[in-house]
Structure 1
Amino acid sequence: MGDLVYRLLLFLNSSKNEDINYTIATTMLHNINHISDMNINKLADICYTSPAAISRFCRKIGYSSLSEFKKSALINKNLYSVGTMQAKGMHLNISRENILNNMSSEIDKEILDLKNSLDLKIVDLVIDLIFSTPNVSIFGTQFSQLMAQELQRKLVMVGKLISHAIDVQEQEKLAESLKENSLAILISPTGRFTLYHEKLWNNIKNSKATVVIITEDKNLEGINIEYKKRSNYIIYLPNKEEPSVYIDSHRYALTYLIEYIYVRYGSLYMN
């Protein structure tokens, strides 16, 4: 189903013309916490367009129907408005110096936890697959998408071109093209990719490609049991014993991991 804010911003940032779809996307972002409660006529009214245009726009950004679009809007509202995805530290009455110090401590701990838990043998196996597989594709959304793009950029500098697509729909097409001699790398730190991007995950899962997944090490069935069933290799990010107060979980561990993969690849295959 995907994150609605991510899809709307992606559409907005890639739009070349400020047409009616641009207006719809902008209006929805301004009203992001309310659109799950609106019917199609109300959505059309606030966007100064027709119900038919709203339906077309929903399909344009990857939703099969208005119903699926509104379910995504409700998930977004529950995650962000309730505070699940907000930094809890912004609600604490502490000094700016303490905010900075506490953030630094959380970042340091996240990086250290990855350093102490990372299975370097598995990472080397994955790096060897990246080197030896002719068709490598990497998948992810939101921050994971940025990290996928960053790894793509860095690997080019050490002689390896891998495939990636920014838009979720284009990633779905990329996953459909996976063959037996392909390698698919999925970045899913929280393990919820299968819930938010079911079609994309099914395309990866049903392919004959070798599958590598980067995700949190959880022993919860239903969170990453799908990954364990389908993946050939899993690179685990460390579990979060306590939720972060100031930083997004896994952001710095994932950045550290991507940098390590790049440097290790270069040390093995450039020298």
Structure 2
Amino acid sequence: MNTLLSLFLLFLNHSLHQDVYYQITQFVYEHLEEMDNYSMTALADACHTSTVTIKKWMELFGLDNYKRFKERLRDTSLIRLAQIDARCQKVRSEQLVEKIRLLSGKKAINQDMFLAAIDQLLEDLAEACHVYLCKATFPLALSLSFVEDMRLLGKRIYFKQIGFRAEFEQLKTDDLIILVTVTGRILSQNKSYFLKLYRSPAKKAIMTQNEILHTFYLFDTYVPLFGEDDNENENLILLTVFQLIKYRYFMKMRNINR
């Protein structure tokens, strides 16, 4: 069963129109930690709408009253955070890198260089005001759990589907775009979209198998996706890379807060 936060992400990612329901969902996503302090009237005021509209919005997610909404949001978030903590205790970076190597069929992976690239991406994430994950439809679906968990860890990540709404000119230098293009096909199939992304003022990271693409277009951060082609194993590699990013982000946070 989906958590309430994952339903919000699905709604935000698949809405064709940024109507009032979209705006309410985005506000809650962005102010997740503060929602316990918002009454229904305060939420309506913050979203420039009415309590009647808030009630209709809750019905979209199967909720019949505001108290239940706040309880479910709080409870599912706490459960998910406990799961993240428990799972991170059972894994190590070296295990995840070895899993990626086995899935890719590589004889060896330079672990130090790969983890250095991951840590550079973590620095980019920590410094960014807004983070946008740009991928095709299916890879975006694979990243839903990752984006949900990162939000619970305090980092807001937004979806941008390749080829849809190429609105990059409004981004700022303290924003971050993470482009995931496994084989680099974006350059041949969506070149105009790619160039708008590349020319935006935001900081840019790329995750790809295509070293030529990274060499020709100078991204701020490059995370290699090991493998030879776009296949089912590559989907598993991508999931494992997301797991590695989340694990190392979580461990850095825990060490800072000690």
TM-score norm. by structure 2 comes to 0.53
For 2:236, the aligned partner's letter is: Y
1:217/1:238 contact within 8 Å kept: no
Aligned length: 159
Question: How many angstroms does 1:108 deviate by?
Answer: 7.9
For 1:237, the aligned partner's letter is: L
For structure 2, the residue ranges without an aligned partner over 5 or more in a row are 1-13, 18-98
Task: Quote the Cα distance in structure 2 between the aligned partners of 1:176 and 1:145.
Answer: 22
Query: CA, structure 1 residues 124+167, in 2 after alignment: closer, same or farther (shift >3 Å)?
Result: closer
For structure 1, the residue ranges without an aligned partner over 5 or more in a row are 1-12, 17-105
User: Structure 1 residue 250 and structure 2 residue 250: aligned?
Assistant: no
Q: Which residue of 2 aligns with 1:129?
A: 124
Task: Quote the Cα distance in structure 1 between the aligned partners of 2:150 and 2:108.
Answer: 22
1:217/1:239 contact within 8 Å kept: no
User: Structure 1 residue 202 and structure 2 residue 195: aligned?
Assistant: yes
2:207/2:224 contact within 8 Å kept: yes
Query: CA, structure 1 residues 158+144, in 2 after alignment: closer, same or farther (shift >3 Å)?
Result: same
The equivalent position to 1:213 in structure 2, one of 189, 193, 206, is 206
Question: How many angstroms does 1:239 deviate by?
Answer: 3.6
Matches within 5 A, 1:8-157: 109-110=102-103, 113=106, 116-117=109-110, 119-157=114-152
Question: How many angstroms does 1:206 deviate by?
Answer: 0.8
Provide Cα deviations, 1:34-53, integer angstroms capped at 9, x if missing partner.
Answer: xxxxxxxxxxxxxxxxxxxx
1:139/1:148 contact within 8 Å kept: no
Q: CA RMSD in A?
A: 3.2
Question: How many angstroms does 1:142 deviate by?
Answer: 2.9
1:114/1:253 contact within 8 Å kept: no
TM-score norm. by structure 1 comes to 0.51
Task: Quote the Cα distance in structure 1 between the aligned partners of 2:227 and 2:177.
Answer: 23
Question: How many angstroms does 1:190 deviate by?
Answer: 0.8
Q: Secondary structure at the match of 1:252?
A: helix
Provide Cα deviations, 1:28-72, integer angstroms capped at 9, x if missing partner.
Answer: xxxxxxxxxxxxxxxxxxxxxxxxxxxxxxxxxxxxxxxxxxxxx
Which of the two has higher C-alpha Rg?
1
Q: Which residue of 2 aligns with 1:160?
A: 155
Query: CA, structure 1 residues 193+185, in 2 after alignment: closer, same or farther (shift >3 Å)?
Result: same
